[in-house]
């Protein structure tokens, strides 16, 4: 009897191995470049929402402010509280960043193109379990939060970590269920296939409006954005799990947070807004793909900032009842109805 190797997840690579390494580095760098961009966009926009300029001193229109902040943070002393647990305390921010960057690898920025005679897919990896990969790494990133809060040996950090645990578990369920409808329609878990399906048919934002809404709301909760920022509610628990972090540790958590926001926007773009597809231009050049994806992602960043400028933070019981009593039943109903319709057609 011959044993067949069944992989846990299939990855579809069109490149040779060395192209994959170069591609991986470039995609990680793109991710790290988008972080200061998102920070700048958020701070400038938030300023405009409040009738002020936002940062406008460092560099032209304040564009160098985020870079200056990162440099400042990295130049600071790396101290830790006496009550903290050293290994975990330093592991936590690394875990958060690694998980965030690894999640970014799955975002499809474009289709397969030929660069210098080599076929290159404009994405980190195309795994056969797309959204599951996102959720799996999201859970690892959440270890970073909880470990950081736990290892700090501070009450505020601990409170933040406990809140993170409760909130992320609650909203991950609704987030996962909101994607089930899309997965059922596509019949595939690969994000690249999802985009191709949307190019041929209709964008999922029109096919699955409820799922889209639930996904965006749950994504805001998953990335600890206002109004779901109880995890780091600065008026209540200082900065939550990252209270005791300064310098590089804080910078890492901060970067991971913004990268998670970008990833949430990018996944929403991929799954619901047609990824690299440009409406009414089916044969757009493939090189435009990454720009289209980043543009659509920043539409989501704009929306997240808009929401932050508008809504006050939820109370803890409101957060829980909203997640469990409204989002989860809605997502389940959406999945059920989609299942019935998919089977019927």
Partner 1 sequence: MPHPEHDSYFIQRGPEPGGTGGVGRAFGETLRGLKTTFNRLVEGVDTVQYPEEKIPVYPRFRGRHRLHRFEDTGLEKCVGCSLCAAACPADCIRVVAAENTPDHRVSGGERFAAVYEINMSRCIFCGYCELACPFDAITMGNDFELADYNRSDLIFTKEMLLAEPLERTPLRAEGE
Whole-angstrom Cα distance, residue 85 to residue 108?
A: 38
139 binds partner 1 (CB under 8 A): no
How many residues at the interface with partner 1, by CB under 8 A? Answer: 14
Which one of the spans 43-51, 78-86, 111-119, 249-257 is the region binding partner 1 (CB under 8 A)? 43-51
Which of residues 13, 202, 206, 326 is near partner 1 by CB under 8 A?
326
45 binds partner 1 (CB under 8 A): yes
* Under 8 Å between Cβ of 120 and 114: yes
Q: Angle between the 130-151 and 155-186 helix axes, to the nearest 10 degrees?
A: 180
Which of residues 5, 51, 279, 343 is near partner 1 by CB under 8 A?
51
Q: Name the residue nearer to partner 1 (CB basis): 299 or 307.
A: 307
Whole-angstrom Cα distance, residue 65 to residue 39?
A: 9
Whole-angstrom Cα distance, residue 166 to residue 53?
A: 36
61 binds partner 1 (CB under 8 A): no
**Cα–Cα nearest to 92, from 169, 150, 34, 166:** 150
Q: Name the residue nearer to partner 1 (CB basis): 42 or 244.
A: 42
Residue 288 CB burial class (10 angstroms; 0-12, 13-18, ≥19): middle
Residues 69-98: x/- map of binding to partner 1 (CB under 8 A)?
------------------------------
Which one of the spans 45-53, 103-111, 141-149, 251-259 is the region binding partner 1 (CB under 8 A)? 45-53
Q: Name the residue nearer to partner 1 (CB basis): 24 or 47.
A: 47
* Under 8 Å between Cβ of 170 and 241: no
50 binds partner 1 (CB under 8 A): yes
Which of residues 32, 49, 135, 316 is near partner 1 by CB under 8 A?
49
Q: Name the residue nearer to partner 1 (CB basis): 51 or 75.
A: 51
209 binds partner 1 (CB under 8 A): no
Q: Name the residue nearer to partner 1 (CB basis): 311 or 342.
A: 311
Which of residues 29, 48, 139, 201 is near partner 1 by CB under 8 A?
48
53 binds partner 1 (CB under 8 A): yes
Whole-angstrom Cα distance, residue 120 to residue 48?
A: 40
**Cα–Cα nearest to 154, from 226, 85, 87, 230:** 85
Q: Which position has the token pair 């889209």?
A: 212
Beta-carbon count within 10 A of 4 CB = 5
Residues 282-311: x/- map of binding to partner 1 (CB under 8 A)?
------------------------xx-xxx
Q: Name the residue nearer to partner 1 (CB basis): 32 or 316.
A: 316
Beta-carbon count within 10 A of 79 CB = 12
Whole-angstrom Cα distance, residue 149 to residue 162?
A: 8
Q: Name the residue nearer to partner 1 (CB basis): 49 or 324.
A: 49
3-state helix, strand, coil in the chain (%, to 5): 70, 5, 30
Closest CB 209 distance from partner 1, rounded Å:
13
Closest CB 301 distance from partner 1, rounded Å:
14
Q: Name the residue nearer to partner 1 (CB basis): 71 or 333.
A: 333
Closest CB 205 distance from partner 1, rounded Å:
17
Q: Which position has the token pair 């990018």?
A: 266
HEC letters along 212-264: HHHHHHHHHHHCCCCCCHHHHCHHHHCCHHHCCCCHHHHHHHHHHHHHHHHHH
333 binds partner 1 (CB under 8 A): no
Residues of this chain that bind partner 1 (CB under 8 A): 45, 47-53, 306-307, 309-311, 326
């Amino acid at each position: 009897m011959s044993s067949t190797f069944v992989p846990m997840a299939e990855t579809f690579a069109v490149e040779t191995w060395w192209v994959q390494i170069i591609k991986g580095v470039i995609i990680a760098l793109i991710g790290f470049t988008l972080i200061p961009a998102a920070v700048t966009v958020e701070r400038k926009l938030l300023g405009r929402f409040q009738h002020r300029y936002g940062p406008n001193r460092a560099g032209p229109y304040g564009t160098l402010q985020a870079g200056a902040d990162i440099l400042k943070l990295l130049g600071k002393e790396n101290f830790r509280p006496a009550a903290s647990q050293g290994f975990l305390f330093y592991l936590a921010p690394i875990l958060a960043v690694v998980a965030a960057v690894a999640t970014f690898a799955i975002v499809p920025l474009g289709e397969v193109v030929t660069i210098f005679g080599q076929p290159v897919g404009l994405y980190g990896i195309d795994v056969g379990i797309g959204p599951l990969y996102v959720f799996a790494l999201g859970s690892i990133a959440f270890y970073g939060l909880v470990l950081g809060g736990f290892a700090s040996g501070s009450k505020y950090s601990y409170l933040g970590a406990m809140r993170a645990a409760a909130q992320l578990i609650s909203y991950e369920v609704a987030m996962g269920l909101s994607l089930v409808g899309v997965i059922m329609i596509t019949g595939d878990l690969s994000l690249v296939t999802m985009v191709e399906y949307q190019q041929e048919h209709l964008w999922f934002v029109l096919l699955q409006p409820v799922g889209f809404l639930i996904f965006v709301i749950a994504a805001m909760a998953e990335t600890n954005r206002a109004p779901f920022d109880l995890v780091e509610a600065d008026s209540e628990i200082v900065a939550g799990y990252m209270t005791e972090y300064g310098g590089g540790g804080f910078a890492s958590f901060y970067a991971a947070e913004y990268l998670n926001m970008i990833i949430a926007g990018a996944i929403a773009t991929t799954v619901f807004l047609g990824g690299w597809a440009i409406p009414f231009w089916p044969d757009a050049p493939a090189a435009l793909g990454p720009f289209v994806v980043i543009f659509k992602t920043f539409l989501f960043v704009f929306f997240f900032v808009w929401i932050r400028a508008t809504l006050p933070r939820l109370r803890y019981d409101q957060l829980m009842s909203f997640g469990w009593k409204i989002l989860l039943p809605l997502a389940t109903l959406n999945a059920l109805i989609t299942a019935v319709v998919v089977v019927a057609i």
